[in-house]
Amino acid sequence: MEIESKYDPSRVEGKWYEYWMRNRFFHSEPDGREPFTVVIPPPNVTGVLHMGHMLNNTIQDILVRRARMMGKNACWVPGTDHASIATEAKVVALLSSEGIRKADLSRDEFLKHAWEWTHKHGGIILEQLKKLGASCDWERTCFTMDEKRSESVIKVFVDLYNKGLIYRGVRMVNWDPAARTALSDEEVLYREQQSKLYYLRYKIAGEDGYALVATTRPETIFGDTAVCINPNDPKNARLKGKRVIVPLAGREVPIIEDDYVDIDFGTGCLKVTPAHDVNDYMLGEKYNLEAIDIFNDDGTLNANGMQYAGMERFEVREKIETDLEAAGLLEKTETYVNKVGFSERTHVPIEPKLSMQWFLRMDGLAKPALDAVENDEIRFYPSKFKNMYRRWMENIKDWCISRQLWWGHRIPAYYLPRGGGYVVADTPDEALQLARVKSGDYALQLADLRQDEDVLDTWFSSWLWPVSVFDGINDPDNKDIAYYYPTNDLITAPEIIFFWVARMIVAGFEYRRLPCFYNVYFTGIVRDKLGRKMSKSLGNSPDPISLMDKYGADGVRMGMLLSSPAGNDLPFDETLCEQGRNFNNKIWNAFRLVKGWEVAPGETPVPASAAIAIRWFGAQLNRVVGKINDSFVKYRISEALMDVYKLFWDDFSSWYLEIIKPGYQQPVDRKSLEATLDFFDSLLRLLHPFMPFITEELWQALADRKPGESIMITDLPAYRAETPEDAKTLNEFDGAREIIADIRSIRLQKNIAFREILVLQAPADHDPACDAVIMKMANLSAVERVAEKATGSVSFLVGTREYAVPLLAKINVEEEIAKTEAEIKYTEGFLEAVMKKLGNEKFIANAKPEVVAAERKKQSDGLAKLKTLCENLAQLKK
């Protein structure tokens, strides 16, 4: 292959992705190999690629590609989520823009529009993932509302209902007035808000005086059915046994007494609104209070709101303040900061509301799922999320699974005529048979039954995802579920640990009696340079497609990972992608350099420096392979990338290639070139999971390849146990690198060009193993062993050994004397400060041992440096 002078991702990426797809490298079928299974966290069909998706799917792809190169049968199942609330909102908005109201459509008409919208927009994000390089098995793409997944959801609902775990009842729920549906507790986000505390006068019935009640929600007074005081509160003892009149409503309600009321909060008098507050609901149940619902589903007040009926709740709050004040029923207001629950989807404040809903009992289901994480059958990375998971699972509440929407899985409950109850069944025909038996009326027809209008919570389908993608609910003994389940790794965000992760674990144990995955890697939140979460509303989130167009997919993948340790937030900066692009260019240029070398004819001997470099880099490569393997075992994926990055940039490019590189217009010997190409092959294979496109392009150009070959189905470099000889080679080379670096520093300090040949004077115990490398890389004529340094030489220490470079003929002696004297003065001052600290008994007694040890090391290093400087000065003055 002809290699162009510059790397152009746009020319490379599409070509190789199409090649991978054409050869079905991503596709998996059960066979005799060890499976490695990952299911994608299904993005919403409403979604387009954002930076969070980029991070998450990059990590998934790295794990999948690596598993494939380890000889495993890797299967990464993609798909999308129907996203009930988000999708319905999008469709309603689209219809509204066309002058069509949802209320004017039948359910079937609306669903036709919703399916049209889904077919048009639902695949966008999956196509975008292909640009990232995601090696998903696209032939297995699933959708939470496709036929098999829908059958699975209905079957599970019926099963849990028949087990007595699903029930229907009027309960206090979180109501989203914008989406007009109930939400689970996990779909409510609490934010601090600047509110007001309103002090209202509830007149005592039949006498002068009033009870003073503080509330943040004066618009809910029309739902008040009691005022509660603490029986142990002396300041409100006068109210015991009395009745008070609800302001503006004019209704009398009793004073009740309960320890629940906090004596020290507000006035000690609590208005009780059982239909619109969770705690008030519990008080209402305890004292048999009436629950008066004052809200319509859209957040306006209903007829119980009297003169405010039809007004929006926050408009009422403003108006009622004026009206209460005019009636002499508002004593005062105070600013107040409180936490208000907002809908996670529509971002409007939720309303606690009594509503008939369907619920799933969770306490019994939760235990196996809690135990699996507690005993590390399922491992969390980082493990700190175990505590969050434990707290939620130990205090789990029943799950409100019904939603008042049309888009979603319709609840399979069918109501009999004339108040005859309901039946739950997989299909309408089965429901009819059950209804006939239940009612005893065998003349019943399907038209006589009415199916429940609600749909199931979106998470009720996605909690089955690791099982349902392999059709393990409908066909629990099929070959796919038997082979691919349990899955291996889940990559997700900690904010959905309760929505999704915990519930999947619950479903896995309920329906397979096994964990649904073994490892959960929690990504951090992608933030901007100011630490803000990236979002469309803030306008601080770059477009991932534009980034990939600018820096290449490999550059962006690398940029995302460079500062993204598990569970920690990622402070994203576009310069990281630039760094990724620069690394692509480094790899490309190194390849062009090597492929541009001419080979010497015949069996040209390997230069001594090249032989050392080949032996050293082989040992170094092996050591780094071991480190990378260890990082992956611990899910330290960013560290693994950094190790291979340094191996290529520092060890291979800056050291190995510089040593091996033949002189200007000189050929390279065949053995050195072959070793270099073998190393390049290993490096490309190590890099491939992180940077799939450039590695495929260069691997194909590295040697003659047959059609259908690909780097992605080669083996990763294997680690072999490090030998004492390897360790010796690496230590020797580290010492040589330090010597070379010190000589280069001397050249820089003394302004001596590299073309000027120098001599190195070494002590008698110097190890000559790497002398050939030192001489080439430092441009030396010799490494001499001497008992005493030459006059006018500059010395340096490597460990405890002192080396010197004679420079008398190459430097201005007077200038060097002045520089050395200044450095001696600075070092003496530094040592004085260290000695002062070490002479302080308080410091020695109170400081940590490692801090004291660090100061002692500063002292010994400083003394050694001072000794060398003084000797250099003496040499200069001779």
Most confident listed range (661-670, 802-811, 869-878)? 661-670
- List the one residue out of 820, 811, 813 whose CA is nearest residue 751: 811
Element spanning 313, H or E: helix 313-326
What is the residue-averaged pLDDT of the chain?
A: 93
Q: Which residues of 720-748 are buried (b: 16+ CB within 10 A; e: fewer)?
A: eeeeeebeebbebbebbbebbebbeebbe
Tokens 């940039």 — which residue?
Answer: 649
> What HEC string does 500-537 produce?
HHHHHHHHHHHHHCCCCCCEEEECCCEECCCCCECCCC
pLDDT of residue 395: 92
Query: Burial, 6: exposed, middle or buried (Cβ in 10 Å; 0-12, 13-18, 19+)?
Result: exposed
> What's the pLDDT tens digit per position in 163-202?
999 999 888 889 999 989 998 887 888 998 989 999 999 9
Helical residues (DSSP H) of 178-295, grouped into ranges:
278-287
Q: What is the mean pLDDT of residues 508-536?
A: 89
Please tell me the pTM assigned to this model.
Answer: 0.85
> What's the pLDDT tens digit per position in 36-67?
999 999 999 887 888 889 999 999 999 999 99
Phi, psi of 182 (to 5 degrees): -75, 155
Sign of CA dihedral 700, 704, 709, 712: negative
pLDDT tops 80 at residue 563: no
Cα(76)–Cα(72) distance, integer angstroms: 12
Phi, psi of 48 (to 5 degrees): -125, 160
pLDDT of residue 537: 65
Query: Burial, 350: exposed, middle or buried (Cβ in 10 Å; 0-12, 13-18, 19+)?
Result: buried
Pairing of strands 526-527, 570-571: parallel
- List the one residue out of 42, 47, 58 whose CA is nearest residue 124: 47
pLDDT tops 80 at residue 876: no
Q: What is the mean pLDDT of residues 69-95?
A: 94
pLDDT of residue 707: 94
Q: 567 pLDDT band (50/70/90 cuts)?
A: low
pLDDT of residue 709: 97
Cβ atoms 523, 490 nearer than 8 A: no
Cα(458)–Cα(463) distance, integer angstroms: 9
Phi, psi of 636 (to 5 degrees): -95, 75
List the beta bridge partners of residue 204: 244
Query: Burial, 386: exposed, middle or buried (Cβ in 10 Å; 0-12, 13-18, 19+)?
Result: middle
pLDDT of residue 681: 98
Helical residues (DSSP H) of 375-468, grouped into ranges:
385-394, 428-439, 459-462, 465-468
Element spanning 182, H or E: strand 181-183
83: left (phi over 0), alpha (psi -120 to 50) or beta: left
Pairing of strands 351-360, 399-400: antiparallel
- List the one residue out of 564, 617, 555 whose CA is nearest residue 582: 555
User: For the chain, what is the radius of gyration of the CA atoms?
Assistant: 37
Cα(149)–Cα(155) distance, integer angstroms: 10
Angle at 647 between CA 562 and CA 717, to 5 degrees: 105
Q: What is the mean pLDDT of residues 590-602?
A: 93
Neighbours of 319 (CB within 10 A): 15
Phi, psi of 144 (to 5 degrees): -60, -15
Q: Which amino acid appears at position 638 of this protein? A: S
Cβ atoms 219, 320 nearer than 8 A: yes
> What's the pLDDT tens digit per position in 96-107?
999 999 999 999
Angle at 96 between CA 91 and CA 99, to 5 degrees: 135
> What's the pLDDT tens digit per position in 298-347?
999 999 999 999 999 999 999 999 999 999 999 999 998 888 999 988 88
pLDDT of residue 264: 83
- In 3-state terms, what secondary structure has residue 762? strand
Element spanning 357, H or E: strand 351-360
Cα(652)–Cα(135) distance, integer angstroms: 29
pLDDT of residue 573: 85
Structure tokens given for 623: 């050591």
Query: Burial, 21: exposed, middle or buried (Cβ in 10 Å; 0-12, 13-18, 19+)?
Result: middle
What CA–CA distances, in Å, run from 496 to 83, 126, 133, 363, 501?
Answer: 14, 21, 25, 19, 7
Cα(589)–Cα(578) distance, integer angstroms: 16
Query: Burial, 280: exposed, middle or buried (Cβ in 10 Å; 0-12, 13-18, 19+)?
Result: buried
pLDDT of residue 386: 95
pLDDT tops 90 at residue 603: no
Q: 182-196, 581-595, 700-714 — which is least confidently predicted?
A: 182-196
Of residues 850 and 463, the one with the higher pLDDT is 463
Q: Tally the residues of the chain.
A: 878
Neighbours of 398 (CB within 10 A): 18
- In 3-state terms, what secondary structure has residue 873? helix
Q: What percentage of the chain reaches a pLDDT higher than 90?
A: 78
Structure tokens given for 214: 């503080």
> What's the pLDDT tens digit per position in 265-307?
779 999 999 999 888 998 999 999 999 999 999 999 999 999 9
In the structure, how many helices (H) and strands (E) does the chain have? 28, 29
Phi, psi of 646 (to 5 degrees): -65, -40
Q: 308-317, 431-440, 835-844 — which is least confidently predicted?
A: 835-844
pLDDT tops 80 at residue 89: yes
Q: 29 pLDDT band (50/70/90 cuts)?
A: very high
Tokens 């209903």 — which residue?
Answer: 302
pLDDT of residue 1: 61
Give the alpha-carbon dihedral of 207, 209, 214, 220, to 10 degrees: 30
Cβ atoms 400, 167 nearer than 8 A: no
pLDDT tops 70 at residue 536: no
Q: What percentage of the chain reaches a pLDDT higher than 70?
A: 99
pLDDT tops 80 at residue 723: yes
> What's the pLDDT tens digit per position in 604-653?
999 999 999 999 999 999 999 999 999 999 999 999 999 999 999 999 99
Q: 49-53, 211-215, 387-391, 695-699 — which is least confidently predicted?
A: 49-53
Structure tokens given for 279: 């705690």
Pairing of strands 780-785, 519-522: unpaired
Q: What is the mean pLDDT of residues 761-784?
A: 95
- In 3-state terms, what secondary structure has residue 181? strand
pLDDT of residue 337: 87
Element spanning 784, H or E: strand 780-785
